[in-house]
Chain A
Amino acid sequence: MDDATGIDVARTGNGRAALVLELRGICKVFPGVLALDDVDFNVRAGEVHALLGENGAGKSTLIKIVAGLYRRDGGVMTVDDQEVDFKSPAEAIGRGIKVVYQELDLVPGLSVAENVFLGHYPRTPRGLVDFAAMRARTSDLLRQLGLDLDPNTQVGELRVAEQQLVEICRALSVQTRLIVMDEPTSALSAAEVDTLFAVVSRLRERGVAIIYVTHKLDEIYRIADRVTIFRDGRRVVTKPIGETTPRHLVTWMVGRDLQDLFPKTPSQVGRPLLKVQDVNGSGLHDLNFTVHAGEVVGLFGLMGAGINTVGRALFGAIPRTGTVELDGLRVRPNAPRAAIARGMGLLTESRKDDGLVLPLSVRTNMTLAALDRFAALSWIRGAAESREAAAYVRQLGIKTPSLRQRIRYLSGGNQQKVLMARWLLRRQDLKVLILAEPTRGIDVGSKAEIYRLIGEMASRGLGILFMSTEIPEILGISDRILVLREGRVTAELVRADATQERLVAAAAVANAEGDQPAAAGATTDVVTGAAWQ
């Protein structure tokens, strides 16, 4: 450990508030993996302690131990100075620990109030559920958090961000000392993030301890008091946030200095490959653009601007009108199969929904779209298939114990590489690759590798259409940038002219709902924002 004292640093300005949770020497072993190796961690009342690390660093394991989902194999855990050993999540909740997971566990068909009090409904003297009291207390909680939600609304009708706040309300409906938030902002817009952070501040004032797990460094600087970084199951460092810089954080996370996140080489732009003319439908309006061989075209837009719709529409996964030509040949709408036959590939933005086939192996997932290459009269030549798959595992640096490993057990970054290989396997006829938010939810190290791969593919003459809501990566790897707003292209910028301000100006909703300054709409990742300018 390059830092022996960090763990004892209390939040400055809060005196020495009581430790709510303390972990000492925690170990957790899974077959084949030492997931946590002698880890120390603590969090005080009224403190936001950020937990940072790449996928597989051990953050999730630590959270699950705290939540009572896993049992530790070694070390001591205390809550309010009493040693605890949770055998179930119920015991953790009983001690005032609440985890807000990325996948929320709310019942969509029930109202906000019913969800908040799920499992401990207030009763009338006759033993019936006291709906009036429940609604009143929910309104009260919502008010305390400064939220404008109706307790009678069905949770299924709320946006993800609002659902998340309902989860937090639920935590407050019982005596909660510690709230763990697992990447709470991954699906939120900038305005929603602001609301969430306002709530976090209120929680802090009430003396609730908060463990905040994230990938996004800018968030840490906005709300955290201390930060702890994990790598490979070990605690690398714990420091008050004021003593760190984004660049240090990244170096600690990755274990090496990431000098060049965007190794973009100017590529030879060749003939036009993808021609889009007057494409409408599915919320898109009058799209006209061209992607050339060897070119990376970035498609930027805020969440909800429809950037991912573009990919699906061109690919034929959702309806559209207008003309799409691939290398001079028209692509039939509404038929992914036809698009593939013409040489188009689509990496969808949602790995779990329409990318991965979770129960199947790495190899099977990889060769899904290219099976005809290994099949003679439908007969799959297994040896050839495995050889090709193994070649891509090596080439893309996919970390997997074997080709037969189920894809569900790979990290997000490695899953994404498998999906990229799915299209690269069609290299004979692949001409245009559409990548919808390929770096979403993956760690910095893997992001850098994916940027490198995109550059490589372009330099081999593929046309790349790259969609993202993150300005730094759009600026970093695109030769040309299209900005989309409400399904329309509002700006087209060449690399040399593109700046953050121009992108934001073109992307921001002209008539914002009043509370939202336009420039705050974009997700900026401080990894690049501060350290790589």
Chain B
Amino acid sequence: MAVASDSRGLDASTTDRRPAGWRRAAGLARHEELSLAILFLIVVAFFVIVESSARSGGTYLGLLRDVSPNLIAGIGIALLLLSGEFDLSIGSMLAFTGVVTVATFNVTDNMWLGILAGLLTGPFIGAINGYLVTVQGMNSLMTTLGTMFALRGLVYVWTDKTPVIDQNGFTEFTRLYQGELGPVPVPGLIALALIGMFYVMVTRTEFGRNIYAIGGNRQAARVSGIKVQRATFALFVLSGTLAAVAGLLIASQTGTGYFDAGVQGFELIVIASAVLGGVSLAGGEGRLVSAMLGVLILGMTSKGLRLMNVHTTQQLVVTGIVMLVAVYIHRLRKDIVVRSREWS
């Protein structure tokens, strides 16, 4: 129940009897990006202390490369979550895009055609998801769960569970992931450019504003004249396309279309990252930059564990626990914010 309180213009300093430290904590917690950045630095500091190889700058450029597929796919996921929808098919998209790309290489012997075909899988699958959700009114969680299984199965049937190897050995293609521009890895640059572009879109354009309105109250958005269905459809296409870009990067890592790419819960990790960054699962609340910080926090954790030579199976356990801790901290933060803001 909303507390109906006209702010009667009382000066906060005259009535706020809480200790100054508490107020400062509230101020800090309110600043979402800052508190997430601090959380990220804490994770970094931990690994710097316990693992000497975490002290070189190259580690962090490597981190940027490692998480670039998550960042890119995470943009689409964050936007969909903001509008109140889900996309679980992005993990299978990685494999599908990779296989389509490399298979096209092998058929046409043309790298650009392959990349184009790979990229087009995104809007294609996204449009299918979007059509089913907006026109047919199906629930997005179930719809994309369906496309997730169907796509993965399709890839298995098609490849017979063998990696599709690039017979032409296009080195330029592998540079997409492995290359560098100055010291910065190319995939990191692609991710940063996309983040910048979509940040502007979310914060400065009508479409961006409409995403929040749709996620916050679909009916109110419709009654205000916003084209709810069209925007939602566009977001599914966008999410698919960004997942295809991520899939291209992963394929270019080894020049292989790998049938099991993203099979270890890629879609869930990306969703978890966004939520960790404060994006509400109910829609309408959250920020893109925060979601990206969420990706970095989880990415740094697994990177650090790898540096410490923790076995992959054990890594899974630690990553899970770190995720729980992070979500718990996030909940604490939200508590402080709500308590300090509810009546001010």
Contacts and interface: CB of A to CB of B under 8 A. Distances in A.
B85 to A, nearest CB: 16
Interface stretch (B2-10, B234-242, B264-272): B2-10
B264 to A, nearest CB: 33
A337 B217 contact: no
A371 B285 CA distance: 19
B337 to A, nearest CB: 11
B309 interface: no
A13 to B, nearest CB: 35
Interface string A350-387: 00011111111000100011011001001110100000
B178 interface: no
Interface residues of A, number: 54
A414 B344 contact: no
Given A354-B223, A357-B216, A399-B6, A32 B343 contact: yes
A34 interface: yes
B220 A61 contact: no
Given A364-B213, A380-B209, A409-B5, A33 B10 contact: yes
Nearest to A442: B4
A420 B71 CA distance: 40
A405 B23 CA distance: 18
Interface in A19-33: 29-33
Given A60-B4, A359-B285, A409-B2, A372 B222 contact: no
A61 B204 contact: no
Interface in A369-418: 369, 371-372, 375, 378-380, 382, 399-401, 405-406, 408-412, 414
A438 interface: no
B284 A55 contact: no
Contacts of B11: 32
Contacts of A532: none
User: Which bracket fits the contact residues of B?
Assistant: 35 or more
A369 B224 contact: yes
Contacts of A497: none
A454 interface: no
A380 B207 CA distance: 10
A368 B7 contact: no
A53 to B, nearest CB: 10
Contact of B221 (A35, A56, A368, A414): A368
A359 B211 CA distance: 12
A348 to B, nearest CB: 6
Contacts of A32: 7, 10-12, 15-16, 343-344
A369 B216 CA distance: 15
A431 interface: no
B225 interface: yes
B343 A354 contact: no
Nearest to A385: B209
Contacts of A378: 205-207
A174 to B, nearest CB: 23
A349 to B, nearest CB: 11
B166 to A, nearest CB: 40
A80 B228 CA distance: 56
A346 to B, nearest CB: 6
A433 interface: no
Given A32-B10, A33-B7, A368 B224 contact: yes
A357 B7 CA distance: 20
A56 B343 CA distance: 10
A228 B8 CA distance: 21
A99 B209 CA distance: 39
Given A337-B227, A356-B217, A400 B7 contact: yes
A406 B2 CA distance: 12
B15 A358 contact: no
B8 A33 contact: yes
A359 B10 contact: no
Given A368-B213, A368-B220, A102 B1 contact: yes
Contacts of B344: 30-33, 401, 409
Interface-central residue, B10, B11, B12, B225, by most chain A CB under 10 Å: B225
B17 interface: yes
A315 interface: yes
A318 B13 CA distance: 49
Contact of A401 (B4, B7, B220): B7
B224 A422 contact: yes
Given A29-B16, A30-B342, A353-B219, A61 B212 contact: no
A453 interface: no
A60 B3 CA distance: 7
Interface in B197-217: 204-207, 209-210, 212-213, 216-217
A31 B16 contact: yes
Given A56-B6, A378-B205, A103 B1 contact: yes
Interface in A465-495: none
22 contacts: A29-B17, A30-B5, A30-B342, A32-B343, A33-B15, A35-B343, A56-B4, A56-B5, A56-B8, A61-B5, A73-B17, A101-B1, A103-B1, A340-B224, A359-B285, A360-B213, A368-B220, A378-B206, A379-B205, A380-B209, A399-B9, A409-B344
The 3 closest A-B pairs by CB, nearest first: A30-B343, A354-B219, A357-B216
Interface of A: 29-35, 55-56, 60-61, 73, 101-103, 232, 315, 317, 336-337, 340-341, 346, 348, 353-360, 364, 368-369, 371-372, 375, 378-380, 382, 399-401, 405-406, 408-412, 414, 422
Given A31-B340, A33-B10, A232-B8, 9 more contacts: A33-B344, A60-B4, A337-B227, A360-B213, A364-B209, A399-B7, A409-B342, A411-B4, A422-B224
